[in-house]
Structure 1
Amino acid sequence: MTPLVLALNLALSFASLAALALSLDRHHRDAFLARAPKARARALRLAGWAGIAVSFAAAVAFEGWNFGPVQWIGALTGAALLVVALLSYRPQWLRPAALAALPLALVALPFALKG
């Protein structure tokens, strides 16, 4: 298991699960202090599912079919724990944390490609 591939997968999973969480009205209200417009909720839902698919593809591409899905499930689990913790204690921090995870994934990508 390459740590940079795991970091890439974890960052993608976190941003994706955060988008899915923010597409729900209750979590959107907690984070933004306003109701989610239907178009934004739909876009967040689409981005979340697309990010999960990209996360799975990256795990399989870098780690193969033997270990990739295992690493993907582990990254999803860790990311879900982080999303739940932020939603429980600091919901306003979820959006900036998810937006920070995307550049971290882009930084890890070239290093994961080399390894």
Structure 2
Amino acid sequence: MTPSILMLNLCLGFAALSALCLSLNRHHGEIVRANPSRRRVLLLRAVGWAGIGLSLLVAGEAEGWGFGPVQWIGTLTGAGLGLVLLLSYRPRLVGWAAAAALGLATTAGVLQRLA
């Protein structure tokens, strides 16, 4: 288990779960203070599910298909816990945290490619 793959999966999972969270009217209203359009809801859902699928693919390819899905479930659980805590105490920071997580995931992916 390499730390860069773990960080990549954790950050990618957090960003994907945040997109799915923002596709719900209640959470979108808490975070953005406006109701999302139908087009935005569909886009956020597509991005969220694509991110989850990509994180599974990354985990499987990097760690092998025997251990990769186990790591994937663990990182999604950790990302979900972090998102729930952030939504509970500081919902306005979810958008910023998701953007930061996406940047960290990109950095971790680049570092993994260079290694």
Same fold by TM (over 0.5)? yes
Q: What range is the shorter-chain TM-score in?
A: over 0.9
CA apart distance, 1:42:
0.8
Amino acid in the other structure paired with 1:84: V
Give secondary structure in 1 for the equivalent of 2:36.
Answer: coil
1:21 correspondence with 2:24 = no
Query: Superposed, which structure 2 residues align to 1:1-115 within 5 Å?
Result: 1-115=1-115
Runs in 1 of length 4+ with deviation above 3 angstroms?
A: none
Which structure 2 segments of 5+ residues have no match?
Answer: none
Structure 1: segments with no counterpart, 5+ residues: none
What is the aligned-residue RMSD (CA, Å)? 0.9
Deviations 1:54-77 (A, max 9, x none): 000000010001110000000000
Relative to the length of structure 1, the TM-score reads 0.96
Q: How many Å apart are 1:114 and its aligned residue?
A: 4.4
Figure out how many residues of one structure are paired with residues of the other and give that number: 115
Structure 2 CA distance for aligned equivalents of residues 19 and 110 of structure 1: 22
- Amino acid across the alignment from 1:71: Q
Name the CA distance, whole Å, in 2 between partners of 1:86 and 1:41: 21
Deviations 1:64-93 (A, max 9, x none): 011100000000000000111111111110
